[in-house]
Amino acid sequence: MPNVHPTAIVDPACTLADDVSVGPFSILQGPIRIGAGTTVLERVSMRGPATIGEHCTIYPGCTLGFPPQDFKFTPESVSAGVQIGNHTVLRENATVHAATNPDTPTHIGDRVFMMVNAHVGHDSRIDNNAILTNNTMIAGHVHIAEKAILSGGVAVHQFCRVGRMAMVSGGSVTVADVPPFCIAWGRSTISGLNLVGLRRSGFDREHISMLRKAYSDTFREHLSMGEIIDILSTRSANCPPLDEWIQFLKTSKRTIATHMNPADVERAARIHATEAYDE
């Protein structure tokens, strides 16, 4: 039998596994299904439809499944709600908003770590093993791919994608797609490949070399995206990571983040400051 604190309110429409724990003053409203081994701590608010997987931990102040921040969504609209996978952790005050459509829920995958105050907007998808650090802001219809890491205070614009194993530096704003395996920083800029992450994940040395060449080719001047894809496609047959890179470029509906080296920006800023002082 679930362990529900006397001060918690659990709607009869909820379905809880026998070993689920619900803490003080938490409120679960509507059709919510919670899997085995999941712990809901105090003062958590959920609104169904929602599905929470097994062995998750939801910390105080989290709010899940409330209506999307979207003007087209009305009180009469039907939402597919929220879906959260297994072994996922939502730390204090994390928020996940319900979908704007009746068919596909806002999705948080398995083993996702949402840290304090992280927000995931409506219709977004966060794939397995992604990490959203404190105060991360994910807008609606965003896709964060597997093993991506978003550092503190990162903001991701609507409909953008962050590719697999990409890292986004703290305080960055992303209004363009960040390709897989890259390090993003600043405003929609990337500085190179996440080489440390690739090596730690056991990527083949030859594949890493091919990705480095692909990165260089992708950001060559005076080439269209179609020309870049044609060049890369000639050598992708035996390199699945390179094929993944190409498919990401092909399917981008927004622009791709641009390459810019932080050292170059810092150097330009120093030159500008010196010139301004001389004037």
**Active-site residue among 87, 107, 119, 122?**
122
- Find, among 56, 104, 61, the residue nearest to 79 by Cα: 104
Looking at every residue in the chain, the average pLDDT score rounds to: 93
**Domain positions in the chain:** 3-144
Give the phi and the psi of residue 219 in degrees, each rounded to 5. Answer: -105, 25
Q: Which residue has the higher pLDDT, 188 or 279?
A: 188
Determine whether domain 3-144 maps to CATH 2.160.10.10.
yes
**Active-site residue among 123, 127, 141, 177?**
123
Q: What counts of helices (H) and strands (E) characterise the chain?
A: 5, 29
Would you state the pLDDT for residue 266?
58
CA distance 143 to 138: 9
**Active-site residue among 81, 109, 140, 163?**
140
Condensed to tens digits (0 to 9), the pLDDT of residues 189-210 reads: 999 999 999 999 999 999 999 9
Among 44-53, 102-111, 135-144, 217-226, the least confident range: 217-226
Say if residue 278's pLDDT is above 70: no
- Find, among 187, 108, 172, 169, the residue nearest to 143 by Cα: 108
Say if residue 89's pLDDT is above 50: yes
Among 26-30, 116-120, 198-202, the least confident range: 198-202
What letter represents residue 210's amino acid?
Answer: M
Say whether 122 is catalytic: yes
Mention every residue, 6+ apart, whose C-beta is less than 8 A from residue 100: 68, 70, 72, 73, 77, 79, 122, 123, 140
Say whether 18 is catalytic: no
Say if residue 24's pLDDT is above 50: yes
The whole-number average pLDDT for the span 73-87 is 96
Say whether 140 is catalytic: yes
Would you state the pLDDT for residue 272?
46
Would you state the pLDDT for residue 237?
80
